[in-house]
């Protein structure tokens, strides 16, 4: 059973565009929602994370929007660059480090 649903599966934008990746979860016990960025042949790297007591968090060009009532959260990448081309995973955990990942979104930013 997939506990975190992520969309789209792949995304292509032009440089400077704002890709948006969406995730939805079912388990209301989840209380921590990180986003990871993974380049080919590398391990996932934590990008940004949010807890359900805030609706938005921004770090540099990356913003998480969180809608607790809809059980959805999304990642926005402002002024996207070709170097942002990677696979992005959303995840959710419930305080016991049992983290569940979304299926991933392969982002391509064209020059």
Partner 1 sequence: DTEVTQTPKHLVMGMTNKKSLKCEQHMGHRAMYWYKQKAKKPPELMFVYSYEKLSINESVPSRFSPECPNSSLLNLHLHALQPEDSALYLCASSQGYNTDTQYFGPGTRLTVL
Residues of this chain that bind partner 1 (CB under 8 A): 32, 34, 36, 41-46, 49, 89, 93, 95-99, 101-104, 106
Residue nearer to partner 1 on the CB measure, 10 or 55: 10
Q: Least distance to partner 1 from the beta carbon of 89, Å? A: 5
Residue nearer to partner 1 on the CB measure, 13 or 103: 103
Q: Least distance to partner 1 from the beta carbon of 100, Å? A: 8
> What phi and psi, each to the nearest 5 degrees, are found at residue 83?
-70, -10
Residue nearer to partner 1 on the CB measure, 19 or 44: 44
User: How far is the C-alpha of 37 from the C-alpha of 83, rounded, in Å?
Assistant: 11
Q: Least distance to partner 1 from the beta carbon of 46, Å? A: 6
Residue 66 has a CB neighbour count (10 Å cut-off) of 19
Residue nearer to partner 1 on the CB measure, 17 or 85: 85
> What phi and psi, each to the nearest 5 degrees, are found at residue 8?
-80, 175
3-state secondary structure of 83: helix
Whether omega before 8 lies within 30 degrees of 0, making that bond cis, reads yes
């Amino acid at each position: 059973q997939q506990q975190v649903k992520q969309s789209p599966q792949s995304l292509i934008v032009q440089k400077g565009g704002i890709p948006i990746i969406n995730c939805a979860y079912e388990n209301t016990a989840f209380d921590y929602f990180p986003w990871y960025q993974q380049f080919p042949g590398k391990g996932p790297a934590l990008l940004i994370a949010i807890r359900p007591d805030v609706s938005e968090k921004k770090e540099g060009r990356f913003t998480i929007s969180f809608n607790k009532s809809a059980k959805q959260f999304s990642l926005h990448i402002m002024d996207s660059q070709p170097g942002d081309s990677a696979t992005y995973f959303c995840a959710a955990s419930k305080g016991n480090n049992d983290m569940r990942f979304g299926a991933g979104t392969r982002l391509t930013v064209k020059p």
